Amino acid sequence: QFPFGRRLPCDIYWHGVSFHDNIIFSGQVNKFPGMMETVRKITLSRAMRTMQDLFPLEYNFYPRSWILPEELPLFVAEVRMMKDSNPSWKPTFIVKPDGGCQGDGIYLIKDPSDIRLTGSIQSRAAVVQEYICKPLLVDKLKFDIRLYVLLKSLEPLEIYIAKDGLSRFCTEPYQEPTLKNLHQVFMHLTNYSLNIHSGNFIHSDSVNTGSKRTFSSILCRLSSRGADVKKLWSDIISLVIKTIIALTPELKVYYQSDIPAGKPGPTCFQILGFDILLMKNLKPMLLEVNANPSMRIEHEQELSPGVFENVPSPVDEEVKVAVIRDTLRLVDPLKKKRKDTHLSFHTYLLIFPTQLQSLHAGIASMKDKQHKHHSLKLSLKLCQSLEQVPGASEELPDAPPSPEAALPSLCLKQVFPKYAKQFSYLRLVDRVAALFIHFLGVKGTTKLGPTGFRTFIRNCKLSNSNFSMAAVDILYIDITRRWNSMAIDHKESGMCLQAFVEAFFCLAQKKYKSLPLHEQVASLIELCECRLAALHGKRLLWG
């Protein structure tokens, strides 16, 4: 660990919280620039809404959501309309503060008028979402699933899913929400950080009992009840792929700004935590995506009042150690080097504090010898994947066997590009983002200025007698002003990607009136790409 950084370049950098190091010029970093911002509740809900507008059926795994405070009137109006058209509909909503985590500040309501609107704009920023009232129960308890997903590369897109995850249980038997039980967090919220404080939390050494279990143990149980577990996995895989497809446009904007193409920089990968709720009918619903999922493999136990000790958690260990070990195996620079050069190198791994730190956390403080031994063994297990034998190579005759051979089979399964064909039609906003990035001009920015927008319209030949350049300017000003008034940070002026997407949809609707939205947008993208290719061809010819 190098808490103050390190001068010599490394093959892998392991940051604790986010991508924050602008002086890395090579190697691989375990965080993407902008990931934290992209998966915040409001940004995620916006990205999902855009995809729901384009592909409502494909994206119905994300609960209907509204952004507060700006969409409060819309929320009130839509709920009233739905209630009018279906008087038997008795919905519940869940309000989640934008910056919150671990269930902080979350509450349930039955009526839009119950939203609490006090505090500054920042503190009021939240998402209000339809509450899933009929979750699948096991042992009469609500639970959710934490699945680990490795985004190994953004361009080209490479996604891996861990074969096992965690199931986190509530600690009070579930009842459908009523005015009387709305406030009972141990019944409605599955957060480990909340339920651990309930007197009913059960720490278990077994992976299929207690308040935290492996997801595979739940699948076994479902399978023995006759559930179609294969279908469930395939639904989960498509949920993950579709969610990442919704996130990539924004991530690409951050990426080109922090690591401009053509300049030396690192490549990135990231382990994400997907929180998924299963409905009674086994449909998986996305709750949220965590950019910085906890990798702790022990929990605190209160020995006597006020005296805590870290004790190993076998369930966490089983799932998380495999995820980190396989991530390191997949990004292992030696693999590539061995293939490329038949030579061997030493791997340097630079770990920044906080995340892997948990592996060692408490070892020193452990009084119990057995626990200390256990944790050290665990660290060694993880390090196996990094141990390299100098001079050894798979390809050389009489070389010792690759260290891979001694490891268990991969728990991370590649799902993209493996299933790319099925999902490529959904990647429309990605192509809109490519146009946006093309016209950004100045390297290092994430917002488009008025000149960039005009150049986009001109180069793609989108203005005509019905749509003058003056109208183009008005469109730019209207949309940009509205988006900037909603933004919490005003660091940069100009049009953000989401505003550009809105403007693009607007232009598409104008041009191709009678088609469904995704066809309008696809047609406009094709037109723009064609015209830019022609322009580029002409430039090459003149050049």
Residue 41 beta carbon to ligand ADP: minimum distance, rounded to whole angstroms = 7
For residue 274, report the phi and psi dihedrals to the nearest 5 degrees. Answer: -95, 125
User: Site for ligand ADP (CB under 6 A): which residue of 104, 176, 205, 368?
Assistant: 104
Alpha helices in 7-100 (DSSP H): 35-38, 41-54, 72-85
Q: What is the dihedral of CA 124, 129, 135, 138, to 10 degrees?
A: -20
Residue 16 beta carbon to ligand ADP: minimum distance, rounded to whole angstroms = 18
Cis omega before residue 3 (within 30°)?
no
Question: What is the per-residue burial (b if ≥16 Cβ within 10 Å, else e) of 174-189?
Answer: beebeeeebeebbbbb
What is the rounded distance in angstroms from the CA atom of residue 105 to the CA atom of residue 107?
Answer: 7
Residue 317 beta carbon to ligand ADP: minimum distance, rounded to whole angstroms = 22
Residue 280 beta carbon to ligand ADP: minimum distance, rounded to whole angstroms = 12
Residue 452 beta carbon to ligand ADP: minimum distance, rounded to whole angstroms = 35
Q: Please, which residue, 277 or 499, has the CB nearer to ligand ADP?
A: 277
Bridge partners (DSSP) listed for residue 13: 29, 350
Alpha helices in 128-207 (DSSP H): 185-188, 192-195
Give the binding range for ligand ADP (CB under 6 A) out of 98-106, 302-310, 334-342, 411-419: 98-106
What is the rounded distance in angstroms from the CA atom of residue 280 to the CA atom of residue 278?
Answer: 7
Q: Please, which residue, 189 or 295, has the CB nearer to ligand ADP?
A: 189
In angstroms and rounded to an integer, the radius of gyration of the C-alpha atoms of the chain is: 25
Quick check: 154 binds ligand ADP (CB under 6 A)? Answer: no
What is the rounded distance in angstroms from the CA atom of residue 165 to the CA atom of residue 180?
Answer: 33
Quick check: 189 binds ligand ADP (CB under 6 A)? Answer: yes
Helix (H) or strand (E) holding 325: helix 314-331
What is the rounded distance in angstroms from the CA atom of residue 75 to the CA atom of residue 66?
Answer: 6
Give the binding range for ligand ADP (CB under 6 A) out of 125-133, 154-162, 241-249, 521-529: 125-133
Task: Count the residues of the shown chain that bind ligand ADP, applying the rule CB under 6 A.
Answer: 20
Quick check: 103 binds ligand ADP (CB under 6 A)? Answer: yes
What is the rounded distance in angstroms from the CA atom of residue 241 to the CA atom of residue 158?
Answer: 10
Quick check: 131 binds ligand ADP (CB under 6 A)? Answer: yes
Both tokens of 71, joined, read: 């969409």
Quick check: 151 binds ligand ADP (CB under 6 A)? Answer: no
Residue 106 beta carbon to ligand ADP: minimum distance, rounded to whole angstroms = 6
SS3 36: helix
Quick check: 102 binds ligand ADP (CB under 6 A)? Answer: yes
Give the binding range for ligand ADP (CB under 6 A) out of 101-109, 176-184, 516-524, 527-535: 101-109
Quick check: 422 binds ligand ADP (CB under 6 A)? Answer: no
Alpha helices in 55-174 (DSSP H): 72-85, 121-124
Residue 536 beta carbon to ligand ADP: minimum distance, rounded to whole angstroms = 44
Restricted to residues 273-292, the positions that interact with ligand ADP (CB under 6 A) are: 275, 277, 287-288
Both tokens of 439, joined, read: 């016209």
Residue 524 beta carbon to ligand ADP: minimum distance, rounded to whole angstroms = 33
User: Site for ligand ADP (CB under 6 A): which residue of 106, 239, 411, 460?
Assistant: 106
Quick check: 138 binds ligand ADP (CB under 6 A)? Answer: no
Quick check: 191 binds ligand ADP (CB under 6 A)? Answer: yes
Q: Please, which residue, 124 or 427, has the CB nearer to ligand ADP?
A: 124
Site residues, ligand ADP (CB under 6 A): 63, 94, 96, 100-104, 106, 129, 131-132, 144, 189-191, 275, 277, 287-288
